[in-house]
């Protein structure tokens, strides 16, 4: 199965505190029947992140903004461009915006087994077998179970296959990148 949809499919929802917005990209169950939520967060000032006890979180900065996560327990972590940062959802924290307007790709799951990676494809790469939610960062071509689709940057892919899905870079001058959530 191969499904492609725009990140704009879901309208942004304002946070309860009014300081940011979230666009829900995927909500469902993994192959292990674990609840998984994938979203984009947008904000431009220091904000308190909601706590989610029992939830594992991964955040990936999608632009070159400067943001630091300051946890109530004293730990601080700078989010780096396209680098997954994993933490427990029950920890109180502030997202301190130092510069820019961060766009953050977030994954929340009941299980630590849900993996989130940024992969780089030179020419041809593959995923599978398995179930994947992906965000394209460059234009790509995907061949999954005999179905071939061209996908432009900024779109979401839902891939579920018992075989291997082939992903081909179609931008001659660039390596293609995808954020891949293995569910």
Q: Mind giving me the DSSP string for the chain?
A: -EEEEEGGGSPPEE-TTSSEEEEEEEEEE-TTS-EEEEEEEEESS-EEEPP-TT-EEEEEE-SS-EEEEEETTS-EEEE-BT--EEEETTS-EEEEEEES--EEEEEEES-TT-EEEEEEESSEEEE-SEEEEEEESS-EEEEETTEEEEE-TTEEEEEEESS-EEEEE--TTS-EEEEEEE-
pLDDT of residue 169: 87
* pTM as predicted: 0.91
pLDDT of residue 33: 65
Same domain, 104 and 125: no
User: Which among 109, 131, 148 is the end of a domain?
Assistant: 109
Neighbours of 83 (CB within 10 A): 11
Over the chain (183 residues), the average pLDDT of each successive run of 10 is 90 88 90 84 88 93 93 95 94 92 93 87 88 92 94 92 92 80 90
Same domain, 94 and 136: no
pLDDT of residue 68: 94
The total of structural domains in the chain comes to: 2
* Residue matched to tokens 């909601």: 50
How is residue 110 written in tokens? 């009941």
pLDDT of residue 73: 93
pLDDT of residue 34: 76
Same domain, 103 and 21: yes
Same domain, 86 and 130: no
pLDDT of residue 77: 96
pLDDT of residue 30: 75
pLDDT of residue 71: 96
pLDDT of residue 112: 82
Q: Would you give the distance in Å from CA 86 to the centre of its chain?
A: 12
CATH number at residue 81: 2.60.120.10
Same domain, 87 and 123: no
User: Buried (b) or exposed (e) across 135-147, using 16+ Cβ within 10 A?
Assistant: bbbbbbebbbeee
Same domain, 81 and 120: no
Residue 8 dihedral angles phi and psi, to the nearest 5°: -85, 0
Same domain, 43 and 69: yes
Same domain, 39 and 81: yes
Same domain, 27 and 69: yes
CA–CA dist 48, 96 (Å, integer) = 9
Range of the domain at 165: 115-182
Is 4 inside any structural domain? no
């Amino acid at each position: 199965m191969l499904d492609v949809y725009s990140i704009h499919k879901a309208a942004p929802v304002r946070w309860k505190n009014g300081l940011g917005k979230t666009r829900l990209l995927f909500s469902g169950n993994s192959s292990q029947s674990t609840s998984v939520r994938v979203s984009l967060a947008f904000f431009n000032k220091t904000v308190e992140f909601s706590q989610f006890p029992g939830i594992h979180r991964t955040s990936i900065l999608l632009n070159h903004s400067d943001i630091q996560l300051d946890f109530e327990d004293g730990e601080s972590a700078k989010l780096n461009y396209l680098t997954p940062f994993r933490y427990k959802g029950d920890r109180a924290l502030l997202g301190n915006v130092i510069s820019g307007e961060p766009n953050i790709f977030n994954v929340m799951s009941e299980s630590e087994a849900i993996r989130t990676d940024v992969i780089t494809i030179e020419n041809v790469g593959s995923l599978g077998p398995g179930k994947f939610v992906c965000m394209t960062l460059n234009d790509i071509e995907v061949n999954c179970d005999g179905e071939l689709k061209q996908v432009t940057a900024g779109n979401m892919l839902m891939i579920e296959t018992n075989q291997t899905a082939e992903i081909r870079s179609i931008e001659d001058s660039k390596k293609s990148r995808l954020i891949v959530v293995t569910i």
